[in-house]
Structure 1
Amino acid sequence: MGLLVVAGEEIAFPPVFNVASEFIDRHLREGKATKVAVRTRKGDTTYRELFEGVNQTANFLDAAQVGRGERVLMIVKDSVEFFFIFWGAIKAGIVPVPVNTLLRAKDYAFIIENSACAGLIYSPEYAGEVEAALASIPHRPGLVLKIADEGDTLANRIAPYSTEFAAVEASPTDECFWLYSSGSTGNPKGAVHLQRDMVVSSEFYGVRTLGAGEDDVFFSAAKLFFAYGLGNGMTFPLWVGGTAVLLDEKPTPSNTFALIETFRPTLFFGVPTLYAAQLQALENVTPDLSSLRMCVSAGEALPADIFRRWREHTGTLILDGVGSTEALHIFISNRVGQFKPGSSGLVVEGYDAKVVDEAGRTVPTGETGRLFIKGLSMAKYYWRNPEKTAETMLGEWINTGDTYYRDEHGYFFYCGRSDDMLKVGGIWCSPFEIESTLIEHPTVFEVAVVGRSDGEGLVKPEAWIVLNDEARPTEALEDELRTFCKTKLAPYKFPRRFHFVDSLPKTATGKIQRYRLRAEE
């Protein structure tokens, strides 16, 4: 197998290239066998133990007669077992498919059928939904394995197998792994990624943008089953020979603060909703966050107010960025020394971006349009979905479906999903701009803005608001919020109606599902 060469904006891949060799095997060759690769509350895993567990899992999958190029679905919580299965599959020439662990039986049934998977491995926490899905469909994978925390564990299953395994030969552009989109509308789409893709995102974002290195300890509250978490919590630390910290439960201010205090990560990755909840908690608790040198946000645009408040409370920057399942990770990002609160940042090295109109022409600086992106980590196509492939993957470019504008300094500003934009009084209006204003009000914890037709059939903004604990919904508060918006926004942008709710509907990645709010009466 040839050598991988990284120089400037070019990555030279050898013709024979199995990416597991770079992310797993390389660390033993470089003398990191005894270094801790993964930390959880159950214990540490060294790079040698990771190497051996990956190889044993590859041998196990091979013995289970999962064929080359066949899919293994992973409905697995964040754990070292996730690492074993993912990299063991790749090493054996099998395609791992991490799946959202928050889905319901009908979604799992669709993915099992759609992927035609040969294997299905799941954690016991998800057994009810997974087993209901299997019972509802004709397709039965040849390997169905529930891995327990005690007794019938993955470690016990793979223990009889050799700790040596020669990686199956592949090329940089061979299919490697899939990620299903979050499916905020319709069925999830299986984005097919290649052997080279994790190298590209890890080098250009992890190393060149974040400055990540082998001394870093990475803690991602965002889960491994989707693209953002996969990079933060697994590929970036393995690429640089650092250490990953994993949390196997739903992230909250309490448990994330506890892990930061215990494991002392240097890099923390969250989503705006979590940062907002943590800021609220910081009014009453004072966790030791001094190990953090940097924080990252993605999944939903980060309001400038949360950026400012986090910096005031912690002294640490949150670097907001935008990425996608199709691009694998973040392709536009703020960075240390180059950031604008409220923006998504500048184009990441190794990628290119443009904002285009409906005819595909680049729009002038300051004008809104649809964001297109290109780079070497882009998914090849959507599995069994030629219509969406043709609609989204336009030659070298990916149509992100996001509306953006670019300022005179090259910073990109999010204006909402293309189908979330509102036309109020004949003028395009960004729901995110209104949300960013409302979140500055001290009574507002979370907010989502959607369009609603009034009695004359004209679209007007309306706000769905989660209040802070001390606040109570009243007509006086509505008037106050309305006036607050009018004083800070163009006059046509204020919400005409307010709905006070306990929570907002979101995808697993933390994105607000505005289409569900639009469907509410």
Structure 2
Amino acid sequence: MSRWPVEPAPGEATPAPFGMSQYCVADPAQHAPDRPALVVVHSGPGDESTWTFAQVDDTVRAVAAGLLGLGLQRGDRVLLRMGNRAEFPFVFFGAIAAGLVAVPTSAQLTGEEAAGLLADSGAQVVALDEDLPLSVPPHIPRITAQTIAEWIAGDERAEHDVGHPDRAAFITYTSGTTGRPKGVTHAHRSAWGRRPMYRGWYGLTEGDVMVHAGALNWTYTLGVGLTDPWANAATAVVHDGPTDRLLWPRLVEAYDATHLAAVPGVYRHLLRHGDPAHWDLSSLRAALVAGEALPSPLWREWTETTGVALYESLGMSEVSTFVSSGPEVPVRPGSPGRAQPGRRIAVLDPDRLEDPTPLPVGESGRLAVHRDDPGVMLGYWRRPEENRQVMRGEWFVTNDLASLDVDGYLTYHGRCDDVITAMGYRISPVEVEDALCQIAGVAEVAVAPLDVGDGVTLVCAWVVPTQPPGDTATIRERVLTRAGERLADYKRPREVRVVEALPRTANGKIVRRDLPATPGGGERADE
């Protein structure tokens, strides 16, 4: 089968041998060496750095050679603690090209949070920006921007690692109900497992231009913004300059973008604060949205105002996206769409997960993805019990509740655990509660999502004071200060409500779903 043109077939098997960096970097470099692969916009259009596919390939192989020169062995982990800049994807793919396992982390994490991931992953090397806090043990080498520049300037280049499709390529960390982030281990085959998205969600083809509104060090950007465009010999455009939430239409116009990818909040902000009458989106074939549910009113407003299709997808760190609307799947407001071509999904009885028989049409249950899907993770890093909980026979069983209609369209009914999805991030309430314990004047704290309208969900903390509420402003300030000290920005409560008591079951367990109805006073934190 010819690699070009890229024509995914439903249910196609991952070729063997296979290499993720070979597929995403080397192949397009050989096919279209002089085509722009990566455009990193700094202050705005016209102020950018551009790499062709040949240059990306050379840079990735230089980083791979440098990593191997440190004496690392296949399967060793490389933790990335870097900001929003081009070196991040170069180290990510460089580690994979070397046969190592990349461990990307968010720059928003505190030094303590990042140290926890370093310890859990057992990383043997850390790629570190000097302005990001992290205590690295003396025996673990550090890679800096200067190190990377020296490797690129040198003569050593490694060949792309290829082998069994099931060998580990990267680990991403996601929140869970235990409060301790867990590593999601993905195989090299995960890049091939994204192929159903090309037609099922994007309508992406060779030579297209993808603008992604996320930071380079976000896994959403690494996947939708880089991995998939590069695998199709398409151009990726990202932004690493000062925050400008109205920038995206200008980038679409300046770079003739065919696709724009973002979370719902980006589109909402553009419509509320931008001037659509002055946007030139004529090159844009589709806008893409993921990270959290797309409210139907926002879909209608965007499509009616801009005339550009807005396609939603449903996915997770463990599988990427697997349900979506797209050019070949008409949008049905209120549904993220249908299973992408070749994906096998089912809704299972929550009380009989060992029974592989899907529930009838219309019945709500646990959403599951068949384990023969190459996009399904290898498993949680060093979490055998949690692996047993989700790997049930032939199915990977999610914590999402859903139902399917007669046409295969999915209706999402929320999560059966307490993990919060806010602003495109998954956040463990237990982790936030642990960070907010032992605050003077606070007896108890519980954290849950709060719907504030217009499809916006915030992290909210309900606080029980040690004495009857008096100076609630002081309590609120203490909670927000502690959150700022211990939590990444996206995990911090945006609202604090002081209450007399927390809702509980007869056995004393906090009922988080009842928190939003709990009377109490509070204010929104400045955003």
The alpha-carbon distance between structure 1 residues 210 and 166, as it changes in their structure 2 partners (threshold 3 A), is same
Residue 129 (structure 1) aligned with residue 133 (structure 2): yes
Task: Indicate the SS of the match to 1:111.
Answer: helix
What is the match of residue 443 of structure 2? none
Task: Indicate the SS of the match to 2:380.
Answer: coil
- Mark the runs of 5 or more structure 2 residues left unpaired by the alignment: 42-47, 420-447, 463-513
The alpha-carbon distance between structure 1 residues 141 and 256, as it changes in their structure 2 partners (threshold 3 A), is farther
What is the match of residue 288 of structure 2? 296
The alpha-carbon distance between structure 1 residues 249 and 140, as it changes in their structure 2 partners (threshold 3 A), is farther
The alpha-carbon distance between structure 1 residues 297 and 499, as it changes in their structure 2 partners (threshold 3 A), is farther
Q: What pairs up with 1:83-482 in 2 under 5 angstroms?
A: 83-124=89-130, 127-130=131-134, 133-134=135-136, 139-140=137-138, 142-147=140-145, 152=146, 154-162=148-156, 164-182=157-175, 186-201=179-194, 203-248=195-240, 252-282=244-274, 286-327=278-319, 329-336=320-327, 337-358=329-350, 359-360=352-353, 362-374=358-370, 375-419=373-417, 439=453, 446-447=456-457
Is the 1:270–1:298 contact (alpha carbons within 8 Å) kept by the matching residues of 2? Answer: yes
TM-score, normalization by structure 2? 0.74
Distance 2:167 2:374 in 1: 13
What is the match of residue 27 of structure 2? 26
Residue 502 (structure 1) aligned with residue 524 (structure 2): yes
Per-residue CA distance 1:236-271 (angstroms, 9 max, x = gap): 111110000011257652233343333232111111
The aligned length equals: 434
Distance 1:63 1:153 in 2: 12
Per-residue CA distance 1:83-126 (angstroms, 9 max, x = gap): 321222112111111112211112111110011101111334xx
The alpha-carbon distance between structure 1 residues 107 and 88, as it changes in their structure 2 partners (threshold 3 A), is same
CA drift of 1:158 comes to: 2.8
Is the 2:65–2:158 contact (alpha carbons within 8 Å) kept by the matching residues of 1? Answer: yes
Corresponding letter in the other structure for 2:149: A
What is the match of residue 429 of structure 2? none
What is the match of residue 71 of structure 2? 65
Is the 2:88–2:217 contact (alpha carbons within 8 Å) kept by the matching residues of 1? Answer: no
What is the match of residue 493 of structure 2? none
The alpha-carbon distance between structure 1 residues 214 and 449, as it changes in their structure 2 partners (threshold 3 A), is same
Is the 1:355–1:372 contact (alpha carbons within 8 Å) kept by the matching residues of 2? Answer: yes
Distance 2:409 2:7 in 1: 27
The alpha-carbon distance between structure 1 residues 214 and 141, as it changes in their structure 2 partners (threshold 3 A), is farther
CA drift of 1:20 comes to: 1.6
Between 1 and 2, higher relative CO (CA 8 Å, sep ≥ 6) is seen in 2
Corresponding letter in the other structure for 1:18: G
Corresponding letter in the other structure for 2:26: D
What is the match of residue 43 of structure 1? 49
Corresponding letter in the other structure for 1:386: P
Is the 2:82–2:132 contact (alpha carbons within 8 Å) kept by the matching residues of 1? Answer: no
* Percentage of pairs with the same residue: 28
Is the 1:57–1:85 contact (alpha carbons within 8 Å) kept by the matching residues of 2? Answer: yes
The alpha-carbon distance between structure 1 residues 290 and 354, as it changes in their structure 2 partners (threshold 3 A), is same
Corresponding letter in the other structure for 1:108: A
The alpha-carbon distance between structure 1 residues 80 and 280, as it changes in their structure 2 partners (threshold 3 A), is same
- Mark the runs of 5 or more structure 1 residues left unpaired by the alignment: 422-430, 453-491, 506-521
Distance 1:253 1:285 in 2: 17
Distance 2:459 2:409 in 1: 24
CA drift of 1:314 comes to: 1.0
Distance 2:459 2:125 in 1: 41
The alpha-carbon distance between structure 1 residues 285 and 3, as it changes in their structure 2 partners (threshold 3 A), is closer
What is the match of residue 10 of structure 2? 9
TM-score, normalization by structure 1? 0.75
